[in-house]
Amino acid sequence: MALFFHSRSSQQIPHKAITRVLVIILLLWIGVHANAQQRTGVITVRFFQITVEIADTPASRTQGLMGRRALPINHGMLFVFERPERQCFWMKNTPLPLTIAFIGDDGAIVNFADMEPFSEQAHCSEKPVRYALEMERGWFRARGVIAGDQVSGHSLTRN
């Protein structure tokens, strides 16, 4: 994008306005490239394949699915943590109703939680886990997935 200024114009654009436009362009460019860098993978829950966006950095875990209004069928977000710990999630700024599965280091689902859009209520794992998988609300229930079921895939390998 090019910005042209005519120096003899009686209506010159203020310096602050130019700075704001350039900052907005920079932020949009960073946002587009950050989203393009989102890693994806495929995991299996029982025999169901899921395409996951992988949130394995503090920034990507903080962003999560905020602002998303829908997910494609059989798509979710896999949160990967450095070590097993009790993990808690909330739905602030997330308009999509989700179910989260907390997954232990061994790939076994520990527990689930249904999460309400825009809620600040914490939903926590019942024991230390290394992974959490967010799917559209009801996805697990509709497929008969229960606590103890195995999750596998390259995305569940240790760092």
The DSSP code sequence of 131-145 is EEEEEETTHHHHTT-
What is the pLDDT, as a whole number, of residue 139? 98
Question: Strand 48-55 to strand 75-85: parallel, antiparallel, or no bridges (unpaired)?
Answer: parallel
Q: What is the mean pLDDT of residues 14-34?
A: 50
Tokens of 15: 């310096």
Identify which has the larger pLDDT, 25 or 95: 95
Q: Is the pLDDT at 35 greater than 80, yes or no?
A: no
Q: How far is residue 78's CA from residue 81's CA, in Å, rounded to a whole number?
A: 10
Nearest to 147, CA basis, from 78, 45, 36: 45
Q: What is the mean pLDDT of residues 111-132?
A: 97
What is the pLDDT, as a whole number, of residue 156? 72
Q: For 55-86, how does the pLDDT look when each residue is reduced to its tens digit (9 = 90+)?
A: 999 999 999 999 999 999 999 999 999 999 99
Please give the model's pTM, rounded to 2 decimal places. 0.75
Residue 13: pLDDT band (50, 70, 90) is low
What is the pLDDT, as a whole number, of residue 154? 75
What is the pLDDT, as a whole number, of residue 38? 74
Nearest to 82, CA basis, from 68, 96, 61: 61
Reported in sequence order, the residue ranges of 25-139 that DSSP labels E, i.e. its strands, are 39-45, 48-55, 75-85, 88-89, 98-103, 109-115, 123-124, 129-136
